[in-house]
Structure 1
Amino acid sequence: MAITVIIHIMNADAIMAEIEEIPDPTSNFLICTNARARDGKNLVYIERDATRVIFPWHRISFVETLPSEEDQVQVESFFRD
């Protein structure tokens, strides 16, 4: 199952993408799919037909993971009449 992440690239705006698994600490790059701007628009520096994008770790400041639907717990609230 894909993990949605926000990738903070040095000297560029953060982007959203999906990764298949949390990368190994010894990895030299991050492979992601469906790279897009945070507002969902296409990125101008990635070809429209590209299926995967490989970012080297030395260009990435940090990566945020977003909760998936199964990670989110549905909260039931009770109200008095």
Structure 2
Amino acid sequence: MPYTLILHVSGEDPILGEVEELPKPGDTLIWIQNPRRRDGKDLHYLQDNVVQVIWPIEKINFIEVVPGEGEEEIFGFVRE
């Protein structure tokens, strides 16, 4: 199941892309498929035909995991 991520790379705008599996604690690289800006536009520093990019984990400040359409919504405390 692919995951959609938002990468916050040092000195860059956030990058949206997909991965087949989430990075593990010992990983030093992350492979991102279909990299683009959050608004869906192409990244200006990549060629038009690039479909996968490898970033070193050390350049990434943090990673957000975007919930998929099929994922269950989590509810907090509910008072009856």
Shift of 1:8: 0.1
TM-score (norm 1): 0.84
Q: Which runs of 4+ in 1 moved over 4 A?
A: none
Deviations 1:18-39 (A, max 9, x none): 0110111111111010100010
**2:6 alignment counterpart:** 6
Shift of 1:49: 1.0
1:38 and 1:65 map into 2 onto residues whose CA distance is 13
1:35 and 1:5 map into 2 onto residues whose CA distance is 10
Quote the RMSD (CA, aligned, Å): 1.0
Unmatched tracts of structure 1, length 5 or more:
74-81
Aligned length: 73
**1:68 alignment counterpart:** 68
Shift of 1:72: 3.9
Deviations 1:19-68 (A, max 9, x none): 11011111111101010001000001111111210000111000000101
**Percent identity for Structure 1 against Structure 2:** 37
**1:36 alignment counterpart:** 36
Unmatched tracts of structure 2, length 5 or more:
74-80
